[in-house]
Structure 1
Amino acid sequence: MERCRHAVLGVERPLRLDCGVDLGPYRVAYQTYGTLNADKSNAVLICHALTGDQFPSEQHPVTGKEGWWEKLVGPGRILDPARYFIICSNVLGGCMGSTGPQAANPATGEAWNLRFPVVTIADMVRAQAALIDHLGIPDLFCVIGGSMGGMQVLEWAASHASRVFSAVPIACAARHSAQNIAFHEVGRQAIMADPEWKGGDYRLHQTVPARGLAVARMTAHITYLSEQALQRKFGRALQDRNALGFGFDADFQVESYLRHQGSTFVDRFDANSYLYITRAMDYFDLAAAHGGVLANAFKGTPTRFCLFSFTSDWLFPTRESREIVHALNAAAANVSFVEVESDKGHDAFLLDEPEMFRTLSGFLKGAASARGLKGVA
């Protein structure tokens, strides 16, 4: 696999963040697959979710595991590098090479830690747009992503409509709900309550708030699954024992599974980045910047949309996708919508979902035909 690239941006023109801070220079770490065609019309931007990164396909350089969207991205798959020039960048505030709280503050030479400015989904998209400029791509054939990635897709379509030919927001919402903010706050408090967090300066003390970050991950991971999926996979099966232990070790397989999710997450993710990225999701409210009317965000849009939701997703339920669809209809946008029958919960967008794949394939072929993009249909 090609090594991840880093673009150093904002040297001459800093990025103005929503919080009022001018950030620059800043780095955007990104990965590409495939080749940009002669007229630069086949570029696809993948936007990753909260715990994702710029490696949706092939072996991950840190974990050694397959890419997080391996079922969708790769040779012979729907997003085939033989057809598209695929770009995926680590979000601003992330911990896989893009500027975030773990990066050095150019003014001091020391890690930003909690002195890093709070970023928003719109800030993440502005950094991605600067990267697309840096790559010399005037507009994107498609912007696609699920969960927080879907929020970025919506922001792209609202703020850079002329640069987005087609948009695929999956399992997302136009604003974060009170319930989701509440779950994020539990995770943040778990991290900040860990004595090894040290007010965000744990690197200076050569510590890691591993327990707090693991609990945050465990809590969030429950929201990514459905009750049916948990019951089908684990039920009340015991973990490596034939009887209850009458203690507080992991008696049940589901407990062991969550502990494993927490411990492995600590190995690849930064605690402060978790604080910043969850906060960015909490602040997301697309209608707020358009007079409180979501349809205004898409007024006059030339972008073609295809939205997906999943029947068992209680983190971003179908009704929130329907609100986006209704807003797009009110703006007379070209929009398709599919609610996929699945018992896999929110994580279904990362898994093998034939109905989603069939619909997405048909949508992209239609969009390619409308754009005159050869070699896709």
Structure 2
Amino acid sequence: MTVVLPRGAAAPGPVREDGVLRHAEIGTLELESGFRLPGVRLAYETWGTLAPDGSNAVLVEHALTGDTHVASGRARPGAPADEQRAAEAGGWWEGLVGPGAAIDTDRWFVVCANIVGGCYGSTGPASPAPPEVDPEGRPWGSRFPMITIRDAVRAEEALADALGVGAWRLVIGGSMGGARALEWAVTVPDRVRACAVIAACAQSSAEQIAWGQAQNLAIRQDPDFRGGDYYDGPAPVAGLGLARRIAHVTYRSAAELHHRFGRTPQGERDVIGARPAERGRYQVESYLDHQASKLAGRFDANSYLVVNEALMSHDVARGRGTLEEALARASCEWLVAAVDSDRLYLPHESDVLAAALPGEVRRRTLTSPSGHDGFLIEGPQLGKLLVETVLRED
């Protein structure tokens, strides 16, 4: 396994770099399906410094369309301007991770990796296929295999080896990241000391799978999708945008949508027109259009399908007996937290997980009007829970 430093970087020295995109070549990954995925590369970022005994490592797992940039950082002096800007940009869990934060990067060595199959630097459908698959080096496209949450953990285990991390002091994630954190604790129990599963559950429910299928079909039915082999033409941005609209409604609460938008029109144009195609828009429609446009501009449709299918496949007890029997493999401390207004990952599902864990684990609550996305928004509450439970002073 090879770790590739940022372009132009020298060997590690006394100057600490945080939030800089790196890549690790982890070789062939054998998937749950039996498919052997060759030449796998994982993109990742780190913050802080790994202790000599490797005891202070924290793995942060991103959600469905998340990336490696969990918090702002700093590039080495003299780094290219674009690298410095990328490092210094705010991250998606800004305030929870950083110097002096609950996950204090002056104390902890924090790692965030892009899931295999993603589109933020890790091997995925848009990556060139190896010569044995395509001598011309065209993108994997429709030939890219299905990835499961367990496959993602195995890839990250190889990354941990490459970084010299024998065991994680904490693995934490929300939503799909929570599924990956939970799978880490069960698949590789001797490498996880504490696990925080936020706004996630033990297995994807029928309703969650149903929402996922609707999103997948929105992409697959876009004429530009072309069965997944669209890289030489227009991307299926309409289908990807529709998938994002469907998903985003589940990420926010009905109360929040009502209080933010209600039935208010967008602009001065009336929502009542001579024909449906001629009417104006409601503010909530404009909001969803904006969310769709943002995702379509930054994400690959095939990768959306891959990671969404991975989440739909999530079942920590698959092939391991009952849920209690599966979770008995784990030997770590736990934080299980739900968002009280979540209508995608219901608090009751976190109760089921907590009740099945070894020992006495109490489900904690993040109070938020925002719905599922509260796990990203309510950083101060989550930080307090982390310090009270799994990140206490040793």
Fold similarity call, TM over 0.5: yes
Deviations 1:100-158 (A, max 9, x none): 11111112222110101111000001000100011111101000000000000110010
1:29 maps to which of 29, 43, 49: 43
Q: 1:233-312, aligned counterparts within 5 Å?
A: 233-241=260-268, 243-246=270-273, 247-248=276-277, 250-291=280-321, 293-299=322-328, 301-312=330-341
Is residue 33 of structure 2 the alignment partner of residue 7 of structure 1?
no
> C-alpha separation between the residues in 1 aligned to 2:380 and 2:319?
36
Counterpart amino acid of residue 267 in structure 1: G
**Which residue of structure 1 lines up, in the alignment, with residue 216 of structure 2?**
188
Q: Secondary structure at the match of 2:60?
A: strand
Q: Cα RMSD between the aligned structures?
A: 1.9
Give the deviation of 1:352 after TM superposition.
2.7
More divergent stretch after superposition (249-258 vs 216-225): 249-258
Instruction: Call closer, same or farther: CA 1:242–1:15 in 2, change over 3 Å.
Output: closer
Secondary structure, counterpart of 1:195 in structure 2 = coil
What are the within-5 Å matches in structure 2 for residues 1-377 of structure 1? 2-10=19-27, 14-58=28-72, 66-106=90-130, 107=132, 108=134, 109-204=137-232, 206-241=233-268, 243-246=270-273, 247-248=276-277, 250-291=280-321, 293-299=322-328, 301-328=330-357, 331-332=358-359, 335-366=361-392, 368-369=393-394
Aligned equivalent of 1:375: none
Is the 8 Å Cα contact of residues 269 and 280 (structure 2) preserved in structure 1? no
User: 1:73 Cα deviation (Å)?
Assistant: 1.3
Gaps in structure 1 of 5+ consecutive residues: 370-377
Aligned residues between the structures: 360
Specify the SS of the correspondent of 2:69: coil
User: 1:244 offset after TM fit, Å?
Assistant: 2.9
Secondary structure of 1:54's counterpart equals: coil
1:26-76 Cα shifts (integer Å, max 9, x gaps): 000000011111211110000111010111112897799631111311222
Structure 2: gaps of 5 or more residues: 1-17, 74-82
Aligned-residue offset at 1:242: 6.0
SS of structure 1 residue aligned to 2:319 = helix
Contact 1:241–1:251, Cα closer than 8 Å, also in 2: no
- Residue type of the partner of 2:231? R
- Checking the alignment, whether the CA contact within 8 Å between 2:149 and 2:314 is kept in structure 1 is yes
Q: Secondary structure at the match of 1:196?
A: coil
The structure-2 alpha-carbon separation of the partners of 1:325 and 1:239, relative to structure 1 and needing over 3 Å to count, comes to: same
> Within 2, Cα distance between the matches of 1:237 and 1:251?
9
> 1:194 Cα shift?
0.9
Partners of 2:175 and 2:199 within 8 A in 1: yes
CA distance in 2, matches of 1:336, 1:131: 32
Percentage of pairs with the same residue: 41
